[in-house]
Chains A and B, each alone.
Chain A
Amino acid sequence: GAGVSQSPSNKVTEKGKDVELRCDPISGHTALYWYRQSLGQGLEFLIYFQGNSAPDKSGLPSDRFSAERTGGSVSTLTIQRTQQEDSAVYLCASSLAGTSGLKEQFFGPGTRLTVL
């Protein structure tokens, strides 16, 4: 596709259930980022994948959060045993890779997660 796509667009779940959020980056983009946007807050970094390197997981808020990226393309963010404070919009972004210069991050439309 032309841009970053995310699914589902909206997800409502019950507290304690697991959820999976999907991100499909722009073709050819080897860098992929997950951010969380909570109500009244800015975007908070969660995790970053770059090619075959070990991901930067420094932003994951707890061990209930995990992410994987299969085949260097599609990524799945998994939240186990969801809590109400996990309710937020989860945004994915991708960019080209390189060691010099700025690589602009292109964002998907996000998944709005509501935990009841």
Chain B
Amino acid sequence: AQTVTQSQPEMSVQEAETVTLSCTYDTSESNYYLFWYKQPPSRQMILVIRQEAYKQQNATENRFSVNFQKAAKSFSLKISDSQLGDTAMYFCAFIPYTGANSKLTFGKGITLSVRP
């Protein structure tokens, strides 16, 4: 079984600054995908970024990038130039590579507030 841990329940950042959200996971799988999802007050889950475990290069999507440390089972999200619209809950999630339609395993999430 997989577990995903997000130990920080809340974080706050000043607009235009950089913030890093932490996530660790535990699995016996060797190949898997990791995700960060954003959930604004509208409740709509939005995929922010994903990382394939077999790729050493860290994924980037505009202002969002990850620091993937496979040996340490760590997957942090860095948000650069924070914007007010980044205020939301952020969830880290895991899915094994085998069985491509397997269920996602989520962390408990972190509430990020961006201050003007």
State the A residues within 8 Å of B (CB): 31, 33, 35, 40-45, 48, 50, 56, 59, 89, 91, 93, 95, 97-105, 107-110, 112
Find out whether the CB atom of A48 lies under 8 angstroms from the CB atom of B95.
no
The distance from the CB of B46 to the nearest CB of chain A, in whole angstroms, is 8
B105 interface contact, C-beta 8 A: yes
> Which residues from 44 to 66 on chain B have a C-beta closer than 8 Å to any C-beta of chain A?
44-45, 47, 50, 52
Q: Across the two chains, which residue of chain B brings its CB closest to A30?
A: B101
A50–chain B nearest beta-carbon distance, Å: 6
- Asked if A91 and B45 sit within 8 Å, CB to CB, the answer is yes
The contact string, 1 if C-beta is below 8 Å from chain A, for chain B 69-84, is 0000000000000000
Consensus secondary structure, chain B interface: loop
User: Which A residues are in CB contact (< 8 Å) with B108?
Assistant: 40-42
Q: Give the residue name and chain of the A residue nearest to B4 (CB).
A: A42
- By a CB distance below 8 angstroms, the chain A residues around B107 are 42
In the complex, what residues of B have CB within 8 A of residue A97's CB? 101
Residues of chain A with a CB closer than 8 A to B106's CB: 35, 42-44
Chain B interfacial residues counted at CB < 8 A: 23
Within 8 A of A (CB), among B26-54: 33, 42-45, 47, 50, 52
Offer 15 A-B interface pairs, CB within 8 angstroms, sorted by A: A35-B106, A42-B106, A42-B107, A45-B105, A59-B103, A91-B43, A91-B45, A97-B101, A98-B101, A99-B100, A102-B52, A102-B100, A104-B47, A109-B44, A110-B44
Contact of A110 among B43, B50, B52, B109 (CB under 8 A): B43
- Contact in complex: B101, A48 (CB < 8 Å): yes
Instruction: Check B104–A102 contact: CB distance below 8 A.
Output: no
